Amino acid sequence: MTSSESVVEASERSDFIRNIIREDLAAGRTQGLVTRFPPEPNGYLHIGHAKSICLNFGVAQEFGGRCHLRFDDTNPVKEELEYIEAIKADVAWLGFDWGAHLYFASDYFEQLYDWAEHLIRAGKAYVDDLSPEDIREYRGTLTEPGRNSPFRDRGVEESLDLFRRMRAGEFPDGSRVLRAKIDMASGNMNLRDPVLYRILHAQHPRTGDAWCIYPTYDFAHGESDAIEGVTHSICTLEFEDHRPLYDWLIENLPVPARPRQYEFARLNLSHTVLSKRRLIQLVAERYVRGWDDPRMPTLAGLRRRGVPPAAIRDFIGRVGVSKAANLVELAMLEYCVRELLNKTAARRMAVLRPLKVVIENYPEGQVEELDAVNNPEDPAAGSRKVPFARVLYIERDDFMEDPPKKFFRLAPGREVRLRYAYFVTCREVVKDAAGEVVELRCTYDPATRGGDAPDGRKVKGTLHWVAAETAPEAEVRLYNRLFNEELPGAKGDVLDDLNPDSLEVLERCYLEPALASAAVGEAVQFERLGYFCADPDGAAGKPVFNRTVALRDTWGKIQAKGR
Ligand code: ATP
Ligand code: MG
């Protein structure tokens, strides 16, 4: 992102979070803005996280503040170093920079422990010996108040001693917890003596076996914010009910700063699952080829598919920030991808389902280099040479032996334009023993070189093509939505809603030569087909291309219908 672009964005953007920040800064309630993006390293980031990243890093950029990348690594059981590295790569790829501000909640374990003792000494926390089942039972329900644990009023010294022995590893998992002493009758369940520490004899990816007690999210999160001097702790709406606890802890601890929490609605995308549990399942049970499978809504998957980070930022900007829960059409993301790639992607020709064409009156062995425009939307992109020869491939779909009225492409006796080349006329159809069309015999008109007839005659169809001899062979992977249902799982098992046709592999496609050297991830438009990019699976002799999006603009159509 250029700096001028971000200045324009800052002046234009307005939403309730930005308004709060603007007012806080104007009223001097905060000296500077500090935000954070706090992923738990228990999976890969997805397009929903992009909303939080763009918001937290975005406001920091716009208001001259800073945004921390903080790993909320308080649950050793599900967390892995692989995820930490992947998350860092994804945030950077999305275009954001945490600078020197990379943090881990696990770096604060000692401080958090001290603050837990502080609460015990103040009579505001106690060690509870109830079993997890009893704790749940005593907690009450939304309509009934909870009951005090029989251990709630044990002495400060006893709790301190037990808490230290919890840390020392004297007790098994689940045998005791540390709880805040707030109010078992509170209408807010989060205030019914929430658990602050639990015993977990587990290897932590960063602290190893240094600890066998771990702080809960509620305890670690706000206090980590305070340690880092976060001013605006922006999170999703499911934490709204946790805010009173967030504030209670900040008020009752000698923390160096008083961050405030604000909640916004998470991104929900149609035909997509964004629950990490579900995404992990798709990978582990091999419904997809990995976290970066181009059908996955992960940032790694979108990157591999060829979605540019700027298109994701644009999409998130259009979605906006509010407190109203909403479901965004997957087609809108595709629209943003198309909008951007239309301006930036080089045009190339590739034939996905080849049909051989022999130009009978074209000299054997002759190859001509014809000029082809790289991007009609961008004159600066210039042009390239495309070889033309006697034997070509066209798209199987572009020929019909017995065409209906509105079919304007190739048919027996009909003349069409081969893009950037010549007019050709189909003279004969060659079939195999099974009656399938295997070859077309055509003639060309040498006077139409470049694609226009000097006598002014018109043709209705323009086809893309490649010269057979010089065409690299490629595998092309076409992706369709991973789920058929708008809300996967809404009617039953989410796995039943998987689209069995989400991946179609075309093994024998032909490319124009310029595509043989396409860089992995670089977007190109295959004329008339869509946007594609080279996949890392491709080897030198056999490139592999992913379809990023088709050309058809379903979102535009939906908008036009006024939906
Ligand atoms: P879980 O807690 O179930 O593992 P999570 O999606 O909440 O999953 P976190 O790593 O805790 O994952 O999320 C990091 C940040 O990203 C949080 O602040 C969270 O609110 C935000 N976030 C997660 N999913 C979305 C979403 N769909 N839309 C917007 N923000 C999201
Ligand atoms: Mg979470």
What is the rounded average pLDDT for all residues in the chain? Answer: 95
Question: CATH 3.90.800.10 spans which residues of the chain?
Answer: 110-216
Dihedral of CA 160/164/170/171: which sign? Answer: positive
For the chain, give every residue range classified as CATH 3.40.50.620. 3-108+218-331
Of 439 and 4, the one with more pLDDT: 439
Count of helix runs (H) and strand runs (E) in the chain: 14, 27
Least confident piece of the model among 438-447, 490-499, 547-556: 547-556
CATH superfamily for 3-108+218-331 is HUPs (3.40.50.620)
In the predicted model, what is the mean pLDDT of residues 35-39? 98
CA of 238 to the centre of ligand 1 (A): 10
Domain with CATH 2.40.240.10 in the chain: 350-464, 474-562
The string of pLDDT tens digits covering residues 61-90 is 999 999 999 999 999 998 889 999 999 999
pLDDT tens per residue, range 239-284: 999 999 999 999 999 999 999 999 999 999 999 999 999 999 999 9
Tokens representing 558? 């939906």
Cα-based angle 439, 442, 448 (whole degrees, multiple of 5):
140
Mean pLDDT calculated for residue range 524-529: 97
Q: Can you give the pLDDT at residue 13?
A: 82
pLDDT band of residue 563 (cuts 50, 70, 90) is very low
The stretch 293-315 carries a mean pLDDT of 98
Q: What is the pLDDT of residues 321-368, one digit of tens each?
A: 999 988 999 999 999 999 999 999 999 999 999 999 999 999 999 999
H or E element, residue 174: none
b/e burial code for range 524-562 (CB count within 10 A of at least 16 → b): bbbbebbbbbbbeebeeeebbbbbbbeeebbbeeeeeee
pTM of the model: 0.94
* Cα of 481 from ligand 1 centre, angstroms: 22
Q: Say whether pLDDT at 52 is over 50.
A: yes
**pLDDT of 11 over the 90 cut:** no
Residue 362 carries which side chain, given as an amino acid letter?
Answer: Y
Predicted confidence at residue 8, as pLDDT, reads 41
Q: What is the pLDDT of residue 540?
A: 76
CA atoms within 13 A on the CB side of 227: 20
The Cα 417–Cα 267 span in angstroms is 46
Phi, psi for residue 177 in degrees, rounded to 5: -140, 165
Helix axes 47-62, 16-26, angle to 10 degrees: 20
Please give the number of the atom of ligand 1 that sits closest to the Cα of 78.
4
Architecture, CATH, for domain 350-464: Beta Barrel (2.40)
The yes-or-no answer on residue 385 being catalytic is: no
- Model pLDDT, residue 4: 40
**pLDDT for 405 beyond 70:** yes
> Is it the case that residue 555 has pLDDT exceeding 60?
no
- Average pLDDT in the 488-493 region? 95
Q: How far is the CA of 55 from the centre of ligand 1 (A)?
A: 13
Q: What percent of the chain has pLDDT over 90?
A: 93
- Report helix angle 47-62 to 309-319, nearest 10: 80
Q: Is 40 in the pocket of ligand 1 (CB under 6 A)?
A: yes
Nearest ligand atom owner, CA of 237: 1
- pLDDT tens digit sequence for 109-150: 999 999 999 999 999 999 999 999 999 999 999 999 999 999
Q: How many Å lie between the centroid of ligand 1 and the Cα of residue 169?
A: 32
pLDDT at 552: 82
HEC-encoded secondary structure of 114-156: HHHHHHHHCCCEEEECCCHHHHHHHCCCCCCCCCCCCCCCCCH
Using the predicted structure, report yes or no on whether residue 2 has a pLDDT greater than 50: no
pLDDT band at residue 559 using 50, 70 and 90 as cut-offs? low
Known catalytic membership, residue 40: yes
Q: Examine the residue annotation and report whether 276 is marked as an active-site residue of this protein.
A: yes
Alpha carbon nearest to ligand 1 atom 23, residue: 49
Catalytic entry in 9, 40, 80, 339: 40
Q: Please report the pLDDT score of residue 557 as a whole number.
A: 55
Residue 450 region by backbone torsions, left for phi larger than 0, else alpha for psi between -120 and 50, else beta: left
Ligand nearest to C-alpha 39 = 1
Is the CB of 276 within 6 Å of ligand 1? yes
- Rounded mean pLDDT, 289-307: 98
- For residue 277, give the ligand 1 atom closest to its CA: 3
CATH code for residues 110-216: 3.90.800.10
pLDDT (average), residues 87-103: 98
The CATH architecture to which 474-562 belongs is Beta Barrel (2.40)
